[in-house]
A and B are shown apart, each in its own frame.
Chain A
Amino acid sequence: MKFGVVVFPGSNCDEDMVYVLRDILRQKVVKLWHKDHDLQKCDMVILPGGFSYGDYLRSGAIARFSPIMKEVIDFANKGGYVFGVCNGFQILCEAGLVPGALLRNTSSQFICKNVHIRAAHNDSLLTSRIDSTTALNIPIAHGEGRYYTDNQTLQQLNENGQIIFRYCDAQGQVTEQSNPNGSLDNIAGVCNATKNVFGMMPHPERAADGELNNIDGKKIFESILQLVKA
């Protein structure tokens, strides 16, 4: 499978994503420079974490207008697979490729820590290989990660199976205490209605290397590989 990892000037999780895909999962990876227009025939485009253009305004607000994003939006609208993590998720929301918005954490602080998330179901590219009854230990690192949308959209997301991950405790229970940032309905990740564009705040690429003693995130990448194989 060929992945394209978009590099905005302030991306800082791009190398981490490339490392997991190329060195750990042994996949083809190319970097897609933000000023370019060519997606190089990738099977999936990944928008990594970071601070795309400094994000002094609102996370992702400027990145959506970059040259590469014009192509990414086009690709997504034609059914291409796009996956945004953290800042990448924020950019997808700003670009309207997935529903909702990511607001400042309720603590109004940046939070970096391991959290638990649970797949809402197995019926998606990201979760096909994941047991949706157990918790995955995946880190978050963001100041603006509080997922929000209006009630009507929330209802649609639930009905269409567009909620992919929810924050939960170590036992897999979705509780208020296990919600690190005040996200609506504990939402940690969603997809669009056609289920080809995905965004999540936790960083699976930070939990995919055995040398760091946590490979729960690897299951998400293995799910992605599985579906394309099939």
Chain B
Amino acid sequence: MSLTAEKVVTVDTARELGLLPEEFEKIKDYLGRTPNFTELSIYSVMWSEHCSYKNSISWLKTLPKDGPHMLAQAGQENAGLVAIGDGLACAFKIESHNHPSAIEPYQGAATGVGGINRDIFTMGARPVAQLNSLRFGNIHLDKTKWLLKGVVKGIGDYGNAFGVPTVGGELYFDDCYNVNPLVNAMSAGIVEVGKTISAISYGLGNPVFIVGSATGKDGIHGATFASGDLHEDSAEDLPSVQVGDPFTEKLLLEASLELIETGAVIGMQDMGAAGIICSTSEMSAKGRHGMIIRLERVPTRQKNMQAWEILLSESQERMLVVVKKGREAEVKRVFDKWDLNCVQIGEVTTGNQLKFYMEKELVADVPADSLVLGGGAPVYQREYSVPSYFYESKRFSIDSVPEPEDLKSVANFLLQHPNICSRRYVYQQYDSMVGTVNMSTNAPSDAAVVNLKNTDRAIALTVDCNSRYVYADPEQGCAIAVAEAARNIICSGAEPSAITNCLNFGNPYNKEVYWQFVNAIKGMGKACRKFRTPVTGGNVSFYNQSSDEGPVFPTPTIGMLGVLESKSHRMTLDFKKVGDSIFLIGESVNDIASSEYLYSWHKIKHSPAPYFDLDKEYKVQQVVRKLILKGLVRSAHDVSDGGLFVTLVESSMPRGLGFSIETDFDCRADAFLFGEAQGRFVVSVDESNIDTFVAELMNADVEFANLGTVNAGEMIIDEENWGKVSEVAAAYDSALEKQLS
């Protein structure tokens, strides 16, 4: 049967679809002929940055992938898979939905949540917790308020109905995100070791099913859309944004897990970017087989959809499932129970060829492996160069900054700063308790702790990235992001296990942006090796910039998983009792570089990353972990945004307690209180444990200082009263809502 000719395809058509002339030549080489329009569309999405990682993969391969608990390495499956003990594994991943959220915040964010959860349950894991990492522009802009409210409602409406708790996240504002917000969604699921399902297809004659929602015209070329800069006319790309239906997702979750239980499944993959073409090609390439697919059988939402539209549609809540021949009835039964579409659209063939038919016409005939990452998709080494601001930043000296006379005003400013104040306005709109596993609701800790019922274990999850640090120094800044994530995990009583990453950068063809990317990867690799937290996968999102405002800050968000082998190791951040001693563990440094204080109060935008010593950081973390395991501290909280002062207030607020402390004469008071030097923890210690506690620290040879004691609700610094915690708590609590209204 001959291939449909359709309209004549030229290098110009290729360019219109986002392909380079040399890529067009490569396609012709693979096929041995000129592709038709449908085939060209297929290559344009499969070779888009979003699907192929063509500009990032060579650097991603330098990241550490191996670890004692790794069950599936980065790139092997839809999400990373890590053994967490008791025969259980955790599948977890973070993914961006930045561009859709920039033009349609509600649906953009909602479908981001849907997509990441499908990545988890398509592996057979039941999602148990979600997190998100959000970045918006200047909080005073109406556009920012509109975007934030839409994104938060989108995440809430989808996640709340889907029924998986949102247990953590982060939220930052900076002018660099005015046009291009970042919306990164993370999900973690639990599965018994050995019961996972792969995204693979094999076995001649095995039937291929499409299940879930009907296919519509939404999200066509979404992957291509995500692989270009946002521009003035981006709103016209609205059909590139998908529409989410959390109810169907919930049905799909239950049906998929039930289907896996039957043992009839060969492989399964969700349909995210590039829809049917992506799932058929990736599953086939992985299993070294081909497929014949009959597109007219695909349930559609509207009549007269073109073959390429069906192939490329990114309609949500769909899965491709390959099952063992002869077990079709079992598949039908499960999906009938959940009232979902379940249609056989093709079968597995030998060889490597994907043949797509529409009625009797062969509309596309392409080798599966030529389409995919690791197969025929192009791989590029991009050039990079050091931006001039990097050297400018290095010239910064704290001595050029006058120390404010009124530090109390700085304190109040920071506590109400949108990057530091309470995130209550946002997280209260998310169901954080469904599933009854969130152990942090009534016992707050730096990372969210998720209970594994009927075991003595729990997992800890966090997302972290201070992109201001990464901008200042991509290598140090990204290493700091990993270190901070590990610090948060440690402070919760867990042991860091593995990470997933969401790499949000500008246009990779911009040499300075690519320099940020390369160095961030170097920093991540270095830190992940140190903390023994392999990279299980994640997602790269380039082109986060707009034509008028330049690239966003490089934002490599780190999602880290930690494991509590026993719930008795659980640690929380709140001071427990009046009279307990407060200690700072880690080095006090006369440093204010890249702090929120320097950036927002002094408005000094260029300075190096804050003080950070990877080896020392690791050592301090190990000591804190040991102290927690030995039961020698009552609370542990890391020093991060806003510095030591904010840390002390945050530890005081949950129980309405306070602190009396002395500053360090070797440091400027502003640096001591508001500097963001890394590698520091604030812990509180019961009097009866102080001797043992101090002995441990002396043995470990790490720096520490006795800051003072916990009191009944005042903030006392060097014998001066800075006010009541209850008063600043009220301001801290309502600041975000006030600034958004």
Contact = CB atoms under 8 A, between A and B. Distances in A.
B418 interface: no
A212 B438 contact: yes
Interface string A125-149: 0000000000000010101000000
Could you say which of B153, B157, B161 has the most chain A C-beta atoms within 10 Å of its C-beta? Answer: B161
Interface string A19-33: 110010000000000
Contacts of B162: 12
A141 B434 contact: yes
B436 A209 contact: yes
A113 interface: yes
Interface string B330-368: 000000001100000000000000000000000000000
Interface in A13-68: 13, 15-16, 19-20, 23, 49-51, 53-56
A214 interface: yes
B251 A16 contact: no
A114 to B, nearest CB: 7
Interface string B229-256: 0000000000000000111101100100
Nearest to B567: A211
Contact of A213 (B153, B248, B433, B439): B439
Contacts of A113: 428
Contact of B429 (A49, A55, A109): A109
Q: Is the interface of B mostly helix, strand, loop or mixed?
A: loop
Contacts of B153: 109
Contact of B430 (A12, A49, A50, A112): A112
A101 B163 CA distance: 23
B409 interface: no
Given A54-B247, A110-B157, A212-B436, A9 B429 contact: no
B190 to A, nearest CB: 13
Given A23-B454, A112-B429, A139-B433, A12 B439 contact: no
Interface in A194-230: 203, 205-206, 209, 211-214
Interface string B92-119: 0000000000000000000000000000
Given A51-B246, A53-B247, A19 B436 contact: yes
A76 interface: no
Nearest to B339: A9
Contact of A206 (B245, B247, B436): B436
A12 B163 CA distance: 5
Contacts of B247: 9-10, 51, 53-56
B13 interface: no
Contacts of A103: none
Nearest to A213: B442
Interface residues of B, number: 34
B442 A141 contact: no
Nearest to A139: B433
A151 B432 CA distance: 35
A200 B430 CA distance: 20
Nearest to B432: A112
The winner among A56, A111, A141, A209 for most chain B CB atoms within 10 A is A141
B250 A12 contact: yes
Contacts of A214: 441-442
Most B Cβ at <10 Å: residue of A9, A112, A212: A112
A20 B251 CA distance: 24
Given A10-B250, A111-B428, A205 B161 contact: no
A38 to B, nearest CB: 16
Interface residues of A, number: 33
B451 interface: yes
B435 interface: yes
Interface string B434-448: 111011011100000
B443 A54 contact: no
Contacts of A53: 247
B250 A139 contact: no
Given A9-B250, A53-B247, A110 B439 contact: no
B361 to A, nearest CB: 37
A203 B157 CA distance: 19
A109 B152 CA distance: 10
B338 A139 contact: no
A16 B434 contact: yes
B257 to A, nearest CB: 12
Nearest to B166: A112
Nearest to A51: B161
Contact of A114 (B429, B442, B453): B442
A109 B430 CA distance: 10
A25 B719 CA distance: 52
B451 A212 contact: yes
A35 B8 CA distance: 53
Contact of A13 (B338, B434, B442, B567): B434
B251 A112 contact: no
Given A51-B247, A110-B157, A205-B436, A213 B428 contact: no
Contacts of A203: 433
A141 B157 contact: no
B156 to A, nearest CB: 5
A50 B163 CA distance: 7
Nearest to A140: B433
Nearest to B162: A12
Nearest to A56: B247
Interface in B133-164: 153, 156-157, 160-163
A142 to B, nearest CB: 9
A203 to B, nearest CB: 7
Contacts of B248: 54
Nearest to A50: B163
Contact of B431 (A23, A109, A112): A112
Contacts of B246: 51, 54
A213 B432 CA distance: 15
A109 B434 CA distance: 17
Contact of A54 (B161, B338, B430): B161
A212 B161 contact: no
Contacts of A50: 161, 163
Interface in B554-574: 567
Contacts of B442: 114, 212-214
Given A19-B436, A213-B441, A214-B442, 11 more contacts: A12-B434, A20-B436, A23-B453, A112-B160, A112-B433, A141-B433, A209-B436, A211-B453, A211-B567, A212-B439, A213-B443
Interface of B: 153, 156-157, 160-163, 245-248, 250-251, 254, 338-339, 428-436, 438-439, 441-443, 451, 453-454, 567
Q: Which 6 A-B pairs have the closest CB atoms?
A: A12-B163, A54-B247, A213-B442, A51-B161, A16-B436, A141-B431
26 contacts: A9-B250, A9-B254, A9-B338, A12-B434, A15-B435, A16-B434, A16-B436, A23-B453, A49-B434, A50-B161, A110-B431, A112-B430, A113-B428, A114-B441, A114-B442, A139-B433, A141-B431, A141-B433, A141-B434, A206-B433, A212-B438, A212-B451, A213-B439, A213-B441, A213-B443, A214-B442
